[in-house]
Chains A and B, each alone.
Chain A
Amino acid sequence: DTGVSQDPRHKITKRGQNVTFRCDPISEHNRLYWYRQTLGQGPEFLTYFQNEAQLEKSRLLSDRFSAERPKGSFSTLEIQRTEQGDSAMYLCASSSGRPDSYEQYFGPGTRLTVT
Chain B
Amino acid sequence: AQTVTQSQPEMSVQEAETVTLSCTYDTSESDYYLFWYKQPPSRQMILVIRQEAYKQQNATENRFSVNFQKAAKSFSLKISDSQLGDAAMYFCVIQGGSEKLVFGKGTKLTVNP
Query: A residues touching B (Cβ–Cβ < 8 Å)?
Result: 3-4, 31, 33, 35, 40-45, 48, 55-56, 58, 91, 93, 102-104, 106-109
Say whether chain A's binding surface is mostly helix, strand, loop, or mixed: loop
For window 41-93 of chain B, which residues contact chain A by CB distance below 8 Å? 43-47, 50, 91, 93
Docked-complex contact A41 and B105, CB < 8 angstroms? yes
| B52 to A, closest residue via Cβ | A102
Instruction: Find out whether the CB atom of A56 lies under 8 angstroms from the CB atom of B103.
Output: no
Given contacts A42-B105, A102-B33, contact A48 B44 (CB under 8 A): no
Interface residue count on the B side (C-beta < 8 Å): 19
Apart from A55-B99, A102-B33, A102-B50, list 10 A-B contacts with CB within 8 A: A33-B100, A41-B106, A42-B91, A42-B104, A58-B100, A91-B45, A103-B50, A106-B44, A106-B45, A108-B44
Q: How far is the CB of A62 from chain B (nearest CB, A)?
A: 17
Chain A residues within 8 Å of B106, by CB: 41-42
Q: Does B16 contact A (CB under 8 A)?
A: no
Q: Report chain B residues within 8 Å CB of A48.
A: 98-100
Nearest-CB distance from A54 to chain B (Å)? 12
B11 within 8 Å of A (CB atoms): no
User: Which of chain B's residues have a CB closer than 8 A to the CB of A91?
Assistant: 45
Which chain A residues border B19 with CB–CB below 8 Å? none
Contacts of B99 in A (CB 8 A): 31, 33, 48, 55-56
Q: Specify which chain A residues have a CB less than 8 angstroms from the CB of B101 in the assembled complex.
A: 33, 35, 43, 45, 104
B103 touches A43 (CB 8 A): yes
Give 6 A-B contacts (CB < 8 Å), ordered by A residue. A3-B44, A33-B100, A41-B105, A42-B93, A44-B103, A45-B101
Give the distance to chain B from A85, nearest Cβ to Cβ, in Å. 18
User: Closest CB of chain B to A12's CB: distance in Å?
Assistant: 18
Q: Which residue of B is nearest A106, CB measured?
A: B45
How near does chain A come to B90, taking the closest CB pair, in angstroms?
10
- Is B102 in contact with chain A by the CB < 8 A criterion? yes
Given the known inter-chain contacts A42-B91, A56-B98, please indicate yes or no for A107 contacting B44, CB distance below 8 A.
Answer: yes
CB nearest to B42 among chain A residues: A108
